[in-house]
Amino acid sequence: MSWVRIGIALDYSGGFHDAVERVVELEKAGIDAAVVAEAYAFDAVSQLGYLAAKTNTVELASGVFPLFIRTPSLLAMTAAGLDFVSDGRFRLGIGTSGPQVIEGFHGVEFDAPLGRTREVVEICRQVWRRERVQHAGKHYQIPLPADRGTGLGKPLQLINHPVRERIPITIAALGPKNVELTAEIAEGWQPVFFHPERAASVWGGALAAGSARRDPALGPLDVVVHASLAIGDDVGDRLARVKPQLALYIGGMGAKGRNFYHRLATRYGFGEVADRIQQLYLSGRKQEAIDLVPEELVRGISLVGPRGYVAERLAAFAAAGVTTLLLSPLAADRDEYVRFVKEALALRPA
């Protein structure tokens, strides 16, 4: 069983300044990472820059930048800039997001996520090596071919010298092909709703197939998992706070047949109830959908219960291959939030 890094996931819905103060306090306690999400709230770049100025040792990461809404070169420039202002502490987290955000909020077509992911990674690494960027892929052409532009575009290289020529990349991936690609080309993999006892049956084959083609220079795959946290003898009721997000994702993040999270719940063995949650959510009966979220699923992906139980669940995550655990405390106030994370640090497996 390997050592599990402990980090915290910052919520994009609000309270950012208070969240930063907690990161600063928990950095002194020994957390390893702080991850800023990006959806359709404030951008994560400005907040990560602010965090870089307020912290000294904790790794900072995007969790995740949707790759459709930035050019590959801009993603590389942003990552290099954040790595610079944080003195080499940044990890680039990318993902495709989904049609609801990409098409509904940004007005960009959601197409070819697998091919675009591979090409984005290739271009980013080329930029960081300060090579003149030249890429003739199916989805990105740099420079733009003369027959598609003015003919004036010439290969350019990054002006600045990055702190590192290989900034670690973590890819958020769910589907088998995406997970296989991630295990092949990325330093890290970020799944969602990770259930230690069921994860291998869902992703094991894809991880093995991708790892077989993995460049040894990438090192072992960092498996970055998010989990809600509450430690105590009387915190069982906090699990109810996890259900609305699960209902939203399983039921509302996509139409029937185009919901990645519904597919995951189905592969976990909750297909019948996932269908019902989706039916209720899409018909506007959200509370009924929330009430149907299985307790077994909520408990399986969370760290909620007495100290001994949470220690057992931390060991289960580690045994399932998790190497970085991002915590979201289900706390009543700031003091309890900090206490929960400190207790988790003390309980993690050695």
HEC states along the chain?
CCCCEEEEEECCCCCHHHHHHHHHHHHHHCCCEEEECCCCCCCHHHHHHHHHHHCCCCEEEECCEEHHHCCHHHHHHHHHHHHHHCCCCEEEEEECCCHHHHCCCCCCCCCCHHHHHHHHHHHHHHHHCCCCCCEECCCCEECCCHHHCCCCCCCCCCCCCCCCCCCCEEEECCCHHHHHHHHHHCCEEECCCCCCCCHHHHHHHHHHHHHCCCCHHHCCCEEEEEEEEEECCCCHHHHHHCHHHHHHHHHHCCCCCCCHHHHHHHHHHHHHHHHHHHHHHHCCCHHHHHHHCCHHHHHHCCEEECHHHHHHHHHHHHHCCCCEEEEEECCCCHHHHHHHHHHHHHHCCC
**How many of the other CB atoms lie within 10 Å of CB of 133?**
20
Distance in angstroms (rounded) separating the CA atoms of residues 249 and 83: 32
Q: How far apart are CA 85 and CA 217, in angstroms?
A: 26
CA distance 170 to 219: 13
| Cis, peptide link before residue 64, omega less than 30° from 0 | yes
Q: What is the largest CA-CA distance in the chain?
A: 68
Residue among 1, 7, 50 at smallest CA distance from 30: 7
Q: Which of 53, 49, 86, 220 is nearest to 162 (CA)?
A: 86
pLDDT, tens digit, 9 for 90 and up, residues 201-254: 999 999 999 999 999 999 999 999 999 999 999 999 999 999 999 999 999 987
In this model, does residue 172 exceed pLDDT 80?
yes
pTM tops 0.75:
yes
pLDDT tens, residue by residue, 127-169: 999 999 999 999 999 999 988 989 899 999 999 999 999 999 9
Question: Residue 255 — very low, low, confident or very high, per pLDDT cuts 50/70/90?
Answer: confident
Amino acid letter at 329? P
pLDDT tens figures, 6-59: 999 998 777 889 999 999 999 999 999 999 999 998 999 999 999 999 999 999
pLDDT in tens, 270-314: 999 999 999 999 999 999 999 999 999 999 999 999 999 999 999
* pLDDT band at residue 315 using 50, 70 and 90 as cut-offs: very high
The domains located in the chain, with CATH, are: 5-232+318-346 (3.20.20.30), 234-305 (no CATH)
Please determine, for residue 257, whether its predicted confidence score (pLDDT) is greater than 90.
no
